């Protein structure tokens, strides 16, 4: 596939977009990444990511960045404990799980989001990422697109790739299919200097992960870089719950009162999460794209990651799917098997939708099981073979 003399615009500088930019540059393509953040330090990155051998790690390997990853991942952060509301341990792999076992399909090393972004950014040519570029609109021009950004700049691209996440502003130019609400909502919190501020939780966590299951209610915790702990309170709720619950997410007393009532059968130790979290906590209703979605391929526009197939987080596939999208799209665009960019994109999208649908189905099923009356038994059965 001839990419020379083509101006490629990637909208969004997350893991998927940056991975694609790197892979395309290795093929000699002219690519720019337009990112809404003011600069690389504009905001705190979210929870750590666990990368999988066949997707996220495969993309990094193709990009020549696996050694950089190995030097920066959080050894031991993938170890997990499964608990009940009383903080009793029902499953632990701390005693036998190796800290480093690259090449094993079951090894899912964790890396801080900020560190992964740093690795990807530093691998790109200078000037690849155009910061402070909030997408506003685009219109067809010649065989490509004229894009307008909030900073007033207007640029031309022969090929536009949406990598701007679940609330993609590019996706509507390709399809009007929208995600549906999964019925699950999560409250996200973050504790700084957890050893000091939440010592009991910190001792429970042991530098890894905790998955605690009650009747339709979960607590999911994970070690982050710099001694931080990220956590989610996960439960079923109506889609309108955010507008009717009356909670001020920046009010610690209200949050703690809500937690004590909602998680009334849970041990006191868990209250330390809401007693010490940074404020405000972030409510995250969980959405998923229809499993049978389809759209008409275009020769100058496509998408990857959450922009294409947002899904619940209960299979750990979101970022891995995005990075695999980047790997497959870059390979299709550079392949001699296709006579046009249209054919390459068509093949990419067909395969991407198929595997994303399978991953989303697994995640939806896991989410239902994890928020059922028998969630603890279900998750223990799921991990019994590991």
Q: Give one DSSP letter per residue of 140-194, joined into a string.
A: EETTEEEEEETTS-EEEESEEEE---TT-SSGGGT-----EEEEEEEEEEEESSH
Give me the CATH topology for the region 7-59+114-178+289-366: FAD/NAD(P)-binding domain (3.50.50)
Band the pLDDT of 33: cuts 50, 70, 90.
very high
pLDDT at 190: 95
| Alpha-helical segments (H) within the chain | 15-26, 56-62, 66-70, 113-123, 194-197, 199-205, 241-244, 252-262, 271-276, 306-309, 318-334, 341-370, 375-383
- Tell me which fold the domain 180-288 belongs to: D-Amino Acid Oxidase; Chain A, domain 2 (3.30.9)
Nearest residue to 14 (alpha-carbon basis) of 28, 30, 34: 34
Q: Is 306 annotated as a binding residue?
A: yes
Give the per-residue pLDDT at 177. Answer: 97
Q: Give the integer Cα–Cα distance in Å for 272 and 306.
A: 32
Query: pLDDT-based confidence at 44, cuts 50/70/90?
Result: low
Q: What is the mean pLDDT of residues 197-224?
A: 95
* pLDDT tier at 268, thresholds 50, 70, 90: very high
Least confident of 30-34, 99-103, 212-216, 312-316: 99-103
Q: Please state, in angstroms and rounded to a whole number, the distance separating the CA atoms of residues 159 and 226.
A: 39
Question: Which whole number is the average pLDDT over 47-56?
Answer: 89
Q: Would you say the CATH fold of 180-288 matches that of 7-59+114-178+289-366? A: no
Q: Residue 45 — pLDDT band, cuts 50, 70, 90?
A: low
Residues 6+ apart with CB under 8 A from 69: 51, 57, 60, 109, 111, 116, 119
pLDDT at residue number 1: 56
Answer yes or no: is pLDDT of 70 > 60.
Answer: yes
Mean pLDDT, rounded, of the chain:
93
Instruction: Indicate the Cα dihedral angle 34, 37, 40, 44, nearest 10°.
Output: -140
Residues facing residue 285 across a β-bridge: 185
How would residue 383 be classed by pLDDT, with cut points 50, 70 and 90? Answer: confident
The percent of residues above 70 in pLDDT, for the chain, comes to 97
User: Between 2 and 171, whose confidence is greater?
Assistant: 171
Q: How confident is the model at residue 71 (pLDDT cuts 50, 70, 90)?
A: very high
Tokens at 226, concatenated: 């710099």
CA 104 – CA 81 distance, rounded (Å): 20
Q: What is the pLDDT of residue 111?
A: 93
Mean pLDDT for the stretch of residues 311-325:
93
In angstroms, how far is CA 17 from the centroid of its own chain? 12
Residue bearing the bigger pLDDT, 118 or 2:
118
Q: Is 50 one of the annotated binding-site residues? A: yes
Q: Which of 32, 7, 304 is nearest to 170 (CA)?
A: 304
**In angstroms, rounded to a whole number, what is the distance separating the alpha carbons of residues 308 and 164?**
9
Average pLDDT over residues 309-327: 94
Q: Is the pLDDT of residue 6 over 70?
A: yes
pLDDT of residue 385: 59
> Is 104's pLDDT higher than 90?
no
More confident position, 27 or 104: 27
Over residues 120-166, the pLDDT tens digits come to 999 999 999 999 999 999 999 999 999 999 999 999 999 999 999 99
Distances (CA, A) of 229 to 75, 224, 353: 15, 5, 34
309 pLDDT tier (thresholds 50, 70, 90): very high
Domain locations in the chain? 7-59+114-178+289-366, 180-288
Whether the CA torsion 248, 217, 314, 276 is positive or negative: it is: positive
What's the DSSP call for residue 236? Answer: E
Measured distance CA(3)–CA(29) in Å, rounded:
6
Candidates 215, 163, 183, 91; CA nearest to 323 is 163
Q: Provide the token pair at 42.
A: 């504009």
Model confidence at 360, in pLDDT bands (50, 70, 90)? very high
Q: Is 117 annotated as a binding residue?
A: no
Burial 348-383 (b: 16+ CB within 10 A, else e): bbeebbebbbebbebbbebbbbbbbeebbebbeeee
Which of residues 384 and 210 earns the better pLDDT score? Answer: 210
113 is in an annotated binding site: yes
**What pLDDT was estimated at residue 103?**
74
> In the structure, what pLDDT confidence band is assigned to residue 99 with cuts at 50, 70 and 90?
low
In the structure encoding, which two tokens stand for residue 130, read together?
A: 């155009």
């Amino acid at each position: 596939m001839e990419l020379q003399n083509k101006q490629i615009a990637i909208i969004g500088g997350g893991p998927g977009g940056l991975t694609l930019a790197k892979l395309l540059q290795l093929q000699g393509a002219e690519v720019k990444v337009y990112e809404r953040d003011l600069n690389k330090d504009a905001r705190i990155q979210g929870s750590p990511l666990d990368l999988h051998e066949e997707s996220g790690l495969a993309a990094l390997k193709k990009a020549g960045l696996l050694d950089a990853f190995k030097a920066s991942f959080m050894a031991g952060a993938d170890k997990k404990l499964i608990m009940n509301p009383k903080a009793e341990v029902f499953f632990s792999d701390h005693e036998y799980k190796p800290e480093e076992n690259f090449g094993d399909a079951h090894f899912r090393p964790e890396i801080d989001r900020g560190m992964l972004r740093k690795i990807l950014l530093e691998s790109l040519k200078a000037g690849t990422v155009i910061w402070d570029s909030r997408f506003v609109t685009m219109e067809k021009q010649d065989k490509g697109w004229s894009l307008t950004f909030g900073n007033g700049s207007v640029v031309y691209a022969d090929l536009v790739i949406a990598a701007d996440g679940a609330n993609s502003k590019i996706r509507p130019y390709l399809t009007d299919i929208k995600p549906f609400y999964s019925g699950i909502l999560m409250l996200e919190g973050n504790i700084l200097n957890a050893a000091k501020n939440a010592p009991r939780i910190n001792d429970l966590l042991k530098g890894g992960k905790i998955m605690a299951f009650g009747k339709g209610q979960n607590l999911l915790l994970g070690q982050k870089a710099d001694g931080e702990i990220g956590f989610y309170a996960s439960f079923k709720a109506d889609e309108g719950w955010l507008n009717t619950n009356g909670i001020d997410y920046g009010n610690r007393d209200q949050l703690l009162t809500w937690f004590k009532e909602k998680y009334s059968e849970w041990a006191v130790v868990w209250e330390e999460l809401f007693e010490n979290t940074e404020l405000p906590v972030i409510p995250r209703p969980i959405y998923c794209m229809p499993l049978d979605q389809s759209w008409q391929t275009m020769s100058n526009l496509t998408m990857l990651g959450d922009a294409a197939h947002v899904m619940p987080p209960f299979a750990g596939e979101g970022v891995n799917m995005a990075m695999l999208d980047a790997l497959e799209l870059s390979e299709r665009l550079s392949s001699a098997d296709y006579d046009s960019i249209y054919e390459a994109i068509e093949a990419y999208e067909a395969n991407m939708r198929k595997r994303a649908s399978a991953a989303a189905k697994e995640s939806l099923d896991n989410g239902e099981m994890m928020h059922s009356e028998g969630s603890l038994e279900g998750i223990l059965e799921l991990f019994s073979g590991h």
